[in-house]
Amino acid sequence: MPRLITAVLVAVALVLGGVLAYRTVLAPLGGTVVQNAPRVPDEALVSDAGKAARLSDFGGGTRLVFFGFTRCPDVCPATLGVLARAYENLSEGQKERVKVMLVSVDPGNDKPEVLRAYLRRFNPDFRGFTGTEEALRRMEAGFFVYARHDEEHDSFVHGDTVAVVDAEGRMRRVYTQDDVASGTLARDLPRLAAGRI
- Domain residue spans of the chain: 1-30, 31-193
| Closest to 156 (Cα-Cα) out of 41, 82, 70 | 70
Q: DSSP labels for 135-168?
A: HHHHHHHHTT--EEEETTTTEEEE---EEEE-TT
pLDDT level of residue 194 (50, 70, 90 thresholds):
confident
Q: What is the CA radius of gyration of the chain?
A: 19
Mention every residue, 6+ apart, whose C-beta is less than 8 A from residue 103.
Answer: 45, 55, 65, 66, 67, 68, 128, 129, 130, 136, 139, 143
pLDDT at 79: 94
Q: How many CA atoms lie within 13 A of 191 on its CB side?
A: 19
- Taking the whole predicted model, whether its pTM rises above 0.85 is answered as no
pLDDT band at 119 (very low <50, low <70, confident <90, very high): very high
The per-residue pLDDT of the chain, averaged, comes to 86
User: For 1-10, what is the mean pLDDT?
Assistant: 54
145 contacts: CB under 8 Å, gap ≥ 6: 67, 139, 158, 159, 161
Instruction: Name the CATH topology of 31-193.
Output: Glutaredoxin (3.40.30)
The pLDDT tens digits for 57-116 are 987 789 999 999 999 988 999 999 999 999 999 999 999 999 999 999 999 999 999 999
pLDDT at 3: 64
Angle in degrees, 0-180, between the axes of helices 184-193 and 75-88, rounded to the nearest 10: 50
3-state secondary structure of 110: coil
Higher pLDDT, 8 or 38: 38
Rounded to 5°, the CA angle 39-34-30 comes to: 130
